[in-house]
Amino acid sequence: MNRRNFILGAAAVLMFPSEAFAKTIVRTERSFAKMTVEEAFKDLETIRDSALKPEINPATMPEVIDRDLILMTDDMTLREATKRIIVHHTGTVKDRDMSAREAHLLHKYECEWAGIGYHYMIRKNGLIEAGRPEQFTGAHAYGNNKDSIGIALSGNFEIADPTDAQIESLVKLVAGLKSKYSLPIWEKGVVIGHRDVNDTKCPGENLYDMLNYVRNNAI
C-alpha cells in the first residue's frame, strides 16, 4: 500500500470509526503514528477540491442534492446510454446512516474500485448526496453498469424500513432522472432493484416492496 492509501485510510478511521473500516484500521495502525491529524485531513481535502463536477440541470433535478460532496474517482468512462435506474441499499450489518463519503472510501480503498460506485446516495434524513459524477459509468451492479444510474439508500432494509424522507427523496430523484433522460419509468425493467439483475438481497425486501410506489409517484 502506498503512502497516499495509508493517509486516506487513517483519515477514514478518524472520520468513520465503524465496522466497515475494521480492515483499514488493521492496515493503517502502524503508519498512523507517523502522521498528524492535520496531515490526514489536508490530504482528504485536496481530493475533495479537485473533484469533478457532474452535469446536473437544476431545472429538472431535485434541489436537495448536496453538491458539495461530489467525490473524485479514477479511470472513469462516460456512460454510453441511460436506460435504467438501479436501486440499492448500503446493506450494512446494522441499519445505519452511511454517508457518500464513507461509501467512497470503502469502495476506493477496500474494494479497490475507481471510487464510489453509486451515483447518488440518500441519507436517512432524506438528503441526497452526489456520488460518482452522473455522466460516468457507475460500479454498482455487476454487468449492468453501462446503461444505468445507481442510487443507494443508506440502511439495511432486510432488517429495517427506509424512512419516509428517504422514499420521498427517491421519488423526487427518480422523477428528475425520468425527465432528464426521457425514461419510461412505468415500463418493466426501467426502475429496478439490484436483486433483479444480480444474485443479491439488495436493496432489501422492505425497500424492494416500495419500488412500485416510487414508479407510480415519480411523475
Stretch that binds Zn ion, among 14-22, 59-67, 192-200, 211-219 (CB under 5 A): 192-200
Tell me how far, at minimum, the Cβ of 45 lies from Zn ion, in Å. Answer: 29
Residues 74-133 that bind Zn ion (CB under 5 A): 88
Tell me how far, at minimum, the Cβ of 200 lies from Zn ion, in Å. Answer: 6
Q: Cβ closer to Zn ion: 84 or 194?
A: 194
CA-nearest of 20, 9, 15 to 154 is: 20
Q: Cβ closer to Zn ion: 14 or 159?
A: 159
Q: Cβ closer to Zn ion: 27 or 107?
A: 107
CA-nearest of 54, 73, 85 to 149 is: 85
Tell me how far, at minimum, the Cβ of 99 lies from Zn ion, in Å. Answer: 17
Stretch that binds Zn ion, among 51-59, 105-113, 120-128, 186-194 (CB under 5 A): 186-194
Q: Cβ closer to Zn ion: 132 or 194?
A: 194
Q: Cβ closer to Zn ion: 31 or 144?
A: 144
Interface with Zn ion: number of residues (CB under 5 A) = 3
* By CB under 5 A, residue 151 contacts Zn ion: no
* By CB under 5 A, residue 202 contacts Zn ion: yes
Tell me how far, at minimum, the Cβ of 30 lies from Zn ion, in Å. Answer: 33
**CA–CA gap between residue 82 and residue 35 (Å, rounded):** 43
HEC-encoded secondary structure of the chain:
CCHHHHHHHHHHHHHCCCHHHHHHHHHHHHHHCCCCHHHHHHHHHHHHHCCCCCCCCCCCCCCCEEHHHCCCCCCCCECCCCCEEEEEECCCCCCCCCCHHHHHHHHHHHCCCCCCCCCEEECCCCCEEECCCCCECCCCCCCCCCCEEEEEECCCCCCCCCCHHHHHHHHHHHHHHHHHHCCCCCCCCCEEEHHHCCCCCCCCHHHHCCHHHHHHHCC
Which of 104, 123, 178, 194 forms a contact with Zn ion (CB under 5 A)?
194
Tell me how far, at minimum, the Cβ of 48 lies from Zn ion, in Å. Answer: 25
Tell me how far, at minimum, the Cβ of 192 lies from Zn ion, in Å. Answer: 11
- Which residues form the interface with Zn ion (CB under 5 A)? 88, 194, 202
